[in-house]
Amino acid sequence: MARGAVAAALAGAALVGCGEQQESASRNPSPAAGSTSGTSTAGTSPAPGRTAVTKDGRVGAPGTVCVMPVSFEPAPDWKPKPVPRLAADSPLASWTKHGPFDLACEIDAKPAGHLGYLRAWVQNSSTGMPRAALESFVGADRTASRATYRETKAGSLPAAEVVYETYSKLLDESKQEHALAVVTPRGTLVLHLGGLDTQEHQDMLPAYELAKRSMRLAS
């Protein structure tokens, strides 16, 4: 199937970039915002009346739609959206889980003209090394391959970063993905960028790089 035809078919759908499980989830409706909460606390949603999309141009701080251990600047026209917590026995729970991580926030690229998301995944653990967390994240995707890790900084925070490939059944081809991990006193966060295919992914990399260089502890 040509890339343009696939893009047209998916233009109105959520497109997940964390392996085939999330690819499947993206072609179905998102869980309702009023779904039952689970037990994770690392990325809790703000209380009613405290739902500004960003605070001082940043997403992730208390009082924004996505509360996370860190905050960062979203790219222009990318739309942050909170992810509802689901009970462990919910049939939709697997859509918001990736190994030991819970999906805390997704930043939709469609308003900026792309098919993809920048997603923040959280884990309650505040110990361990960023690379170990990242290896756990990548290892949860059975289609992941060709992973290359490196130590880096996310803002001033020690971080690990990986470039790897996953296999898309939809396109019958492999596609590139990026992710980074930081460990903070409020939990571990993995920031992941997927996309429809490698070309779309590369077109969205500036948004990922902006989030990376502007990242700091949420306050």
pLDDT digits (tens, 9 = 90+) for 66-115: 999 999 999 999 999 988 877 778 888 788 999 999 999 999 999 999 99
* Phi–psi pair at 203, nearest 5 degrees: -65, -25
What is the reported pLDDT for 31?
Answer: 44
> The CATH number of the domain where 115 resides is what?
3.40.1000.10
d(CA 100, CA 95): 13
- Domain of 43 in residue numbering reads as 3-217
d(CA 202, CA 123): 27
Residue 26: pLDDT band (50, 70, 90) is very low
Q: Domain tally for the chain?
A: 1
Count of positions (residues) in the chain: 219
What is the reported pLDDT for 54?
Answer: 78
Top pLDDT among 205 and 91 is at: 205
Per-residue pLDDT of 167-194, as tens digits, reads 988 888 999 999 999 999 999 999 999 9
Is the pLDDT confidence value at 216 over 70? yes
From the list 115, 41, 71, 66, the residue with the least C-alpha distance to 213 is: 71
